[in-house]
Chains A and B, each alone.
Chain A
Amino acid sequence: MLGNVRSFTMLSELLQGTDVGGFLLIQDSCSYSGRHLLKSFIDAALNREEVVHVLGLDVSEEELKEGLKSLVFQRLHFHDAYADPLGWTDNSPFTVHQFSSWRLAELLKQTAQSKPATLVIDSLSWVLRHISPTAVCHTLQQLKKGGAVRTIIGLLHEDMHSRGIVGSVCRLATSVITVEPGSKGEEALAKITKRSKLGKVTQDEQIFSIRKDLTVTVLSKPTDPGHKQSTTEEQVDPTANLTFNLRLTDAEREAKEKLALPFVFSKEKKTALLHSGPGSGKILYEPDASDDYDQEDPDDDLDV
């Protein structure tokens, strides 16, 4: 289904959704919207028979569902916070102030399935404008650890917030994809940073494009003209270019190994020498009459 995607690229790995209990963050800016990539992730999750809950704050339900196949809609639950996010009318389905871990867990339990669901937040920027960043970070951390949610996918518009807020949210994420416009029309550049549990960080940059049916084609790595192909010098072989021969042929190597070394004893003699009886290595010294054997410690008078 994913076309000519090589399975070892990081972007396709993330699309396959193998890591459980993670928080994937898609960062975009006004020059390139990350919503298409977000929809691809939703599509991939629905195709994997997962239940997806979407908190829609940025765009309306129709706009988000556009492009997704209608037969999977039974697994997609849209919580509309687009119409009335701040609760000005009294019957709003979801307001931004309800963004807390217990309220969201309740929401997810309403459509109780056998396995935990994927939560998609579109977008976190909206939430961050009305709720304090520390509360949002708390909620995300509790959702991650709680087990009510399989994975969280969030969209963040990085040009809407200060660096500190963006940095704080990125710290919580297990993978961050930053999308930027590519050099050609349909293409975009994705910079991916993935953090494993033990703190190992892997980074990658890939050019991708999204087709009409929301499948992602990973094209290639960007060739940055600034990165000159640094000719890694061949390991200089010290045995080359000498007037004498330092190398060994295979026959010579065998002969070298067969050589009987001096002081090589048979196994029995070796064990006999190694596991020698007690007292064979001690030195017994009897002081002579002329030996000045002083029991006192000469460092006694030092005040150390």
Chain B
Amino acid sequence: MAAPVKSVDKPPAECSPLNFTSFQKKSRSKSLSIPGTRPSVQNGQLLVSSGVTSLDYLLGGGLAVGTVLLIEEDRYDSFSRMIFKYFLAEGVVCRHELFVAAAQDDPDDILQELPAPILDDVAIHRPGEQPRMSCEPQDTLDAMKIAWRYQNLPKVQSALASSSRFGHYYDVSKTMEPEIRQAAKWHRFYHPEHPPLSSGTHSPKLESYSALLKSLRDVIQREGFDLTAPLPKSRNILRVGLHSLGSALWGDDLCCHDNPKNVHALTSFLYGLRALLRTSLSVAVVTVPSHLIQDRALMGSITRLCDNAIALESFKGSERETNPLYKDYHGLLHVRQVPRLNCLASHLPDHKDLAFKLKRKQFTIERLHLPPDLSETVSRVSKGELAGAATAAAACSSATSSAKHLDF
């Protein structure tokens, strides 16, 4: 029963001091075993977590390696930036490499703002720390009055023995500790640091996007993420984060004009990006300020050129903020596209009405539903009516005192 299981092949994962069981899964290791990834249950594709567990669930288990996730930004770029930071923080925690490109903020500043992970077993980078069993100060005995036998056990017990879980939770109110962040290897591309070399060449590509693509290709080839090159011993995933592509600060006038001069700049960049990603072990998250792009056909082609696409619509500043239907949530989430990778049918989310809420320890995406009507007047207002006229809804709820009780 409790005899140790002798495993035939020792898995290459490092033996962390926080192994609670001695069980080691015997795997034939046909597929690459990279920490922080897992094969998809639908089509065997290698998946990485996007940092938000509810988003992983929506996208069919996670982001497939070699694909692009397009996030259409909300009006003030608050929630899309949050998901962008979750993606990068997940990369730091799983010890993937990062490539961050931005035009508005310095990538250093973006990395300073990453949220802190919540788990205990992430703190493996501190080698000097003893396990908690040994010397606890006496006054912590008063912490638990009834369940004091469990006091010395760590707060969160991970189900699996390995420290590289799939999908972590983050505390938004704290930033990631510098030790964890500095242990991560990352590359940066800050657009103002790459001034345009020549101007006036009438090519469909834009100078800034070409420089970005070239820089990304160099990083992929130099650091060994390329699948066409001979494989080094240990492989890792490169997480690429591109912030606010298409905005005016990248030199692109997609957002400014109805008939932009560089119509094909962003689309040819995305085409090149996807080709680069398919032949390497990388995942990309691209955010685009789609509310500024007037041409819907162009937005459609941008969506088609990315694999996964979601759009965030925040309630702040719109008339929906006061709608009682939406009072529990911060905004709506629309899934625009889900890819079909190496299979005929894709996994579509069950429900189309999704709303999100940014809580301190979790970014939840839930199905939008009518709350139960517990008031005196049980008049069934349909969702369409409620969304259409906020004033009418207020009038309905205050039309009291008529004896409209439900009679059983």
Contact = CB atoms under 8 A, between A and B. Distances in A.
A133 interface: yes
Nearest to A138: B249
B255 A141 contact: no
A165 B258 CA distance: 10
Given A193-B317, A261-B146, A267 B138 contact: yes
Interface string B234-273: 0000000000000111011101111000000000000000
Interface stretch (B75-83, B155-163, B360-368, B378-386): B75-83
Interface residues of B, number: 49
A87 interface: no
A138 B103 CA distance: 10
Given A164-B255, A201-B78, A201-B316, A273 B394 contact: no
B231 interface: no
A47 interface: no
B153 to A, nearest CB: 10
Interface in A249-295: 261, 264, 267, 270-271, 273-275, 282-285, 293, 295
Contact of A168 (B1, B256, B324, B395): B256
Interface stretch (A25-33, A64-72, A224-232): A224-232
A167 B256 CA distance: 8
B390 A226 contact: yes
A195 interface: yes
A199 B253 CA distance: 24
A168 B248 contact: yes
Nearest to B26: A297
B1 A283 contact: yes
A162 B192 CA distance: 26
Contacts of A162: 256-258, 294
B394 A203 contact: no
Nearest to B257: A164
Contact of B78 (A167, A171, A172, A200): A200
The secondary structure that dominates the A interface is: mixed
Contacts of B26: 297, 299
- Interface size on A, as a range, is 35 or more
A137 B249 contact: yes
A198 interface: yes
B6 interface: yes
A201 B398 contact: no
B145 interface: yes
Interface string A213-238: 00000000000001110110000000
A282 B229 CA distance: 50
B298 to A, nearest CB: 12
Given A133-B253, A201-B78, A271-B141, A164 B1 contact: no
Contacts of A145: 192
A193 B395 CA distance: 30
The secondary structure that dominates the B interface is: loop
A167 B317 CA distance: 14
B396 to A, nearest CB: 11
B149 A195 contact: no
Contacts of A230: 324, 394, 397
Contacts of B289: 167, 171
Contacts of A228: 391, 394-395, 398
A128 to B, nearest CB: 9
Interface string B273-295: 00000000000000001011110
B256 A274 contact: no
A134 B76 contact: no
A285 B136 CA distance: 32
Contact of B76 (A142, A164, A201): A201
Contacts of B292: 163-164, 167-168, 171
B3 interface: yes
Interface string B122-164: 0000000000010010100100011011011000000000000
A164 B246 CA distance: 12
A18 interface: no
A4 interface: no
B292 to A, nearest CB: 4
A168 B247 CA distance: 7
A142 B253 CA distance: 18
Contact of A171 (B77, B113, B145): B77
A226 B391 contact: yes
Interface in B281-327: 289, 291-294, 316-317, 322, 324
Nearest to A283: B2
B179 to A, nearest CB: 22
B22 interface: no
Given A133-B257, A267-B141, A274-B141, 13 more contacts: A133-B256, A137-B248, A138-B251, A164-B256, A167-B291, A168-B248, A171-B292, A195-B76, A199-B82, A226-B390, A228-B395, A270-B141, A283-B1
Shortest 9 CB-CB distances between A and B: which pairs? A228-B394, A133-B256, A137-B248, A199-B78, A167-B292, A168-B248, A201-B76, A134-B248, A164-B255
Interface of B: 1-3, 5-6, 26, 76-78, 81-82, 104, 113, 133, 136, 138, 141, 145-146, 148-149, 151-152, 192, 247-249, 251-253, 255-258, 289, 291-294, 316-317, 322, 324, 390-391, 394-395, 397-398
28 contacts: A133-B248, A134-B248, A137-B249, A138-B251, A142-B192, A162-B257, A162-B294, A163-B294, A165-B257, A167-B291, A168-B256, A171-B289, A171-B292, A172-B249, A193-B317, A199-B78, A199-B82, A200-B78, A226-B390, A227-B322, A228-B398, A230-B324, A271-B141, A273-B149, A274-B148, A282-B2, A285-B2, A297-B26
Interface of A: 132-134, 137-138, 141-142, 145, 162-165, 167-168, 171-172, 193, 195, 198-201, 203, 226-228, 230-231, 261, 264, 267, 270-271, 273-275, 282-285, 293, 295, 297, 299
